[in-house]
Amino acid sequence: MGMDFSTLRTLISRYCVGEENWVDSRTIYIGHKEPPPGTEAFIQQRYPDNRIVSSKYTFWNFIPKNMFEQFRRVANFYFLIIFLVQLIIDTPTSPVTSGLPLFFVITVTAIKQGYEDWLRHKADNAVNQCPVHVVQHGKVVRKQSRKLRVGDVVMVKEDETFPCDLILLSSSRNDGTCFVTTASLDGESSHKTYYAVQDTKAYSTEKEVDSIHATIECEQPQPDLYKFVGRINIYMGSEPIARPLGSENLLLRGATLKNTEYIYAVAIYTGMETKMALNYQSKSQKRSAVEKSMNAYLVVYLCILIGKAFVNTVLKYVWQADPNRDEPWYNHRTETERQRHIVIRAFTDFLAFMVLFNYIIPVSMYVTVEMQKFLGSYFIMWDDEMFDEELGERAVVNTSDLNEELGQVEYVFTDKTGTLTENNMEFIECCVDGHVYVPHAICNGQVMPDAAGMDMIDTSPGPDARAHEELFFRALCLCHTVQVKEEETVDGIKHGIHQGKSTSFYISSSPDEVALVEGMKRLGFTYLRLKDSHMEILNREDEIERFELLEVLTFDSVRRRMSVIVQSNTGERYLFCKGADSSIFPRVVSGKVDQVRARVEHNAVEGLRTLCVAYRRLTPEQYQEVCNLLSGAKLALQDRDKRLAEAYDLIEKDLILLGATAVEDRLQENAADTIESLHKAGMKVWVLTGDKMETAAATCYASKLFRRNTQILELTTKRTEEQNLHDVLFDLSRTVLRQHGGMTRDTFSSLSGDCTDYGLIIDGATLSAVMRPAQEDSNSGNYKEIFLEICRNCSAVLCCRMAPLQKAQIVKLIKASKEHPITLAVGDGANDVSMILEAHVGIGIMGKEGRQAVRNSDYAVPKFKHLKKMLLVHGHYYYIRISELVQYFFYKNVCFIFPQFLYQFFCGFSQQPLYDTAYLTLYNISFTSLPILLYSLIEQHINMDVLKKDPSLYRDIAKNALLQWPIFIYWTVLGVYDAIVMFFGAYFLFDNTTFTSNGQLMTTNTQMMFGNWTFGTLVFTILVFTVTFKLALDTHYWTWINHFVIWGSLIFFVVFSLLWGGIIWPFLNYQRMYYVFMQMLSSGPAWLSIILLITASLLPDVVKKVIWRALWPTTTERIQNAEKLYKGHLSEFTPLAALHASSRSTRQRRGSIDQRNVPNPRRTNWCCLCANILSRNAP
């Protein structure tokens, strides 16, 4: 009865109380077999199937869900309201004028999003329908992946991907191990070793595996890839045998089986409960500075719209207060409408005016911006200069929403290993008791042909030290997780060939370990293999030594060390431990610590990665105590990680120091040049790394992050131990502010020689103290602001010993500072994902640590050097293009709608439209949209070679310079001016009218029919030509496509107008535009008026630009002028520097410009030409 109650209690807690109360554990029945009677209750649990769903929509919910998401955008929702108002009340314009542009925008966006989701569905189906092998009734059967269930026993073959999360039961290898790559999960591309359950590893056939009778108790699914706690109960006799399960037994979905013929494993997490699926991060939507400016401008224009509608409504009723001025007859007001309450009538009129003026809000701007970003992203992917032949990879764009943000970066946060460096380890030396050993070139597992011996530096050890030396070499041959593989072709590359002989080669999850084992091989001790839990090494006398591997105390980032416990043939047991110097030295009780420490510090200053090696002999009693500690910790289902960490801490103590190793990770090609260019562009570069301070600092000097004259400020644990944190921070603050006089370094050029160059080094422990919130009872205050003040005055910052989460905290701290700078994070490994997601722009490097960073980034590049072109060229161009696009859209809509506002003063505020319905509808969709879209895709205001050679040009567009309020106001005022010129210019042409003999009203000046539609068509014609010519004047880079689109759009307008007014269309109820356009064009004075009004509209802008360029040119404008002056022959960096001084010095240096026959890049701009003439004739 007790069992029934417990079963009932379990069921209630599981299905009624809620998920949060039953996430502790789950029970899995291997092969769906019930446990033997009397052991435990059999409760069949329901788990999801193995389908993976990454798509956003289904066939049924696509339309409602997509519509809901699109109408959450303010502009779309606004136009929907306007469209509904036009349907409900009598408005001056047709609902088509608002509905058609809105329908176009919504449709284009829905098609784009639907296509992207269809691709996701396609990818999901490919994964869900792939075949897997399942053991059923002693046979292997094929199933679709989506049909897998928890408890199924799966067979996976070499190079296949695991279909779900599995517990390894047995393997084709006798020792029950298998080798796996997890590059698609955590970014680690090298091989990892996983272990079968000890009691099932001997089951090697389908029938044997099917006979296993066991249950697994484990935690509910969690996203942590490195954590798993479980227990397997195997029913072999009267009592079940319990064995612990950990992350070393768990094979994750998405990982790939390597170097193992086949494995059998049981499914424990399936479908969306797998760790890979739980790690699908719904990235927070990143919004660019340009998008924020667009929204701010939209609010301003919305206020202008409401203001216009309100003013017109008030003036209408002021106008109609006179009894002689009633509602115009052509508005067709019924008597019922006239008798309505004045408030209702006023509100209806207000809405009607809102509809009439609503085109000032550029709804089509959003779809144009989206198309510009989407199409523009292909220019990054097609860039051959960002193609890496070694990797065979191009740049990748994961999100096109941030293209222009690449031109606004102020802070660059970069990882070191694999990002600045190659992550290609080369063994340099080892030090044993002060004696240094340097073998010849050993590079990442590949032995160079000239490596034929061993160099001994310092004096050779005496006979007494010989045993110590060999123990050190044995320690490095045994203390690792390296696997040995026979020579074969992998990815087209033959491994293990040495001097024409077929040999084995090493693979490991850590490149450092391969380099160390290869180094030992050159020094006489060769690691051969791990077979039947015995590690075999070949010593200098060509004798094979066998050591039984008893325990592996795995490496983790907190301990920063790993250990093995082995037993020699003589029965002696050893604990060998290797790790960072900071984690080994405190645990050492004897050995030549001072000599080894000195060598470690020397190597760290040289930029080498160092490890220390120590050992301890274990007596039988000590070993038994170790076994008890580890066994108790491993079997725990609760807090297993904590208990294991405590056990490791107790075991790894009282060590004897043997020596240290040094491995080099070379700097990537052109990394130093890239960092120098970023500095010149005004960006601050921070290096965030987990490496030790000395190694990281050496890399920073090599990469020119720190220069030789840089004054280094240290904010490290070592310094805070001598002096409290409060005093250290204030000392550093006084140091930097004394030099800069209280101003931040942003006011200085990073190239200025007048101010001291400061570099800050901070470590993870000190950063934690700085970030810790201030206690209420302490007078320490909040250190964050002081820390930020110091950082702002430093040209470069190095953060070492950083945990992944601390990297993200640093980025978040800078993002939230009062300047709100734009940040960019770049990294190559899984440990960089958090900062990549946190920064405004995240860039992944396609390095050797897999694709986790690449998959989570906004952009990905093959090498760090490609960051230079990505920011200085593509970022610069995208920002210039989209800022012009945004300002131009608002400008042309002001030009479009302000004459409509002015017209109300001449039609008794009757809401009479100035333009025809077709013109209202097609103005933003057809007549003016394509030229600006093309401009925003191909405009190059400066040659890209010049942008690369002179990074300081990036400063001209920093801090959203082209979308500031003064520039926005200038464009708006220019639009109002052009609208006034167009309207009143046309108005004065119609000033004098006469009646013809046939009763038509004609203008005296132009001999055109006088009428509303003729007047509106004349204004509209001037408008279309003016805004198109304005864009042509702003274009610097002309190609045949520009000519075709700009002049083609004007020809299309003329042809459309001729057809629209020249044919009686049967689907129209009235033909108000019939013959209007042709009759207007038949008037010679009208042609002359159009030309004069277009010139008058454009002239002030041209004059203003010419004067500004001549008197107060920016660096960009000087280079534009010089490019035109020297016909595109700017070729060297040195003359460009002269352009930063003044236009006079530009002229004086003209003779130094290279006049070789370089092809002209077809660039012209009238403002540049006029400014050239003025500057050349200046006194």
For residues 959 and 746, give the distance between their C-alpha atoms in angstroms, rounded to a whole number. 12
415 is an active site residue: yes
Whether residue 614 contacts residue 655, with contact meaning beta carbons closer than 8 Å, is answered with yes
For residues 403 and 384, give the distance between their C-alpha atoms in angstroms, rounded to a whole number. 18
Torsion of CA 29, 33, 35, 36, to 10 degrees: -160
For residues 895 and 1028, give the distance between their C-alpha atoms in angstroms, rounded to a whole number. 12
Ordered DSSP codes for 315-382:
HHHHHTTSTT--S-GGG---HHHHTS-HHHHHHHHHHHHHHHHGGGS-HHHHHHHHHHHHHHHHHHHT
Residue 1073 makes CB contacts below 8 A (sequence gap 6+) with: 916, 918, 1013, 1017, 1060, 1061
Q: Per DSSP, what are the bridge partners of residue 442? A: 427, 447
Residue 58 makes CB contacts below 8 A (sequence gap 6+) with: none
Whether residue 695 contacts residue 703, with contact meaning beta carbons closer than 8 Å, is answered with no
Backbone phi, psi, residue 443, to 5° = -120, 105
For residues 887 and 935, give the distance between their C-alpha atoms in angstroms, rounded to a whole number. 13
Among the listed residues 165, 415, 828, 978, the single catalytic one is 415
What are the structure tokens assigned to 630, written together?
Answer: 């580890």
Ordered DSSP codes for 166-229:
EEEEEESSTTSEEEEEEHHHHSEEEEEEEE--TTTTT--SHHHHHT--EEEEEPPP-S-TT---
What are the structure tokens assigned to 126, written together?
Answer: 């490919």
Torsion of CA 596, 602, 604, 608, to 10 degrees: -90
> β-strand 250-251 against 165-171: which pairing, if any?
antiparallel
What are the structure tokens assigned to 343, written together?
Answer: 């408030």
For residues 134 and 117, give the distance between their C-alpha atoms in angstroms, rounded to a whole number. 31
Q: Report the length, in residues, of the chain.
A: 1179
Is residue 1178 within a helix (H) or strand (E), and if so which, with residue range? none
Q: Euclidean distance between the first and final Cα of the chain, in Å?
A: 108
Q: Residue 1014: left (phi > 0), alpha (psi -120 to 50), or beta?
A: alpha
Identity of the amino acid at 982: M
SS3 96: helix
**Closest among 714, 681, 678 to 696, alpha carbons compared:** 714
- What count of other Cβ atoms lies within 10 Å of the Cβ of residue 36? 11
Is residue 687 within a helix (H) or strand (E), and if so which, with residue range? strand 684-688
Is residue 422 within a helix (H) or strand (E), and if so which, with residue range? strand 421-432
For residues 484 and 719, give the distance between their C-alpha atoms in angstroms, rounded to a whole number. 44
SS3 1069: coil
Burial classification of residue 791, based on how many CB atoms lie within 10 Å of its CB (0-12 exposed, 13-18 middle, 19 or more buried): buried
For residues 368 and 366, give the distance between their C-alpha atoms in angstroms, rounded to a whole number. 5
> β-strand 823-827 against 411-414: which pairing, if any?
parallel
Residue 867 makes CB contacts below 8 A (sequence gap 6+) with: 412, 674, 678, 826, 843, 861
Q: Catalytic site residues?
A: 415
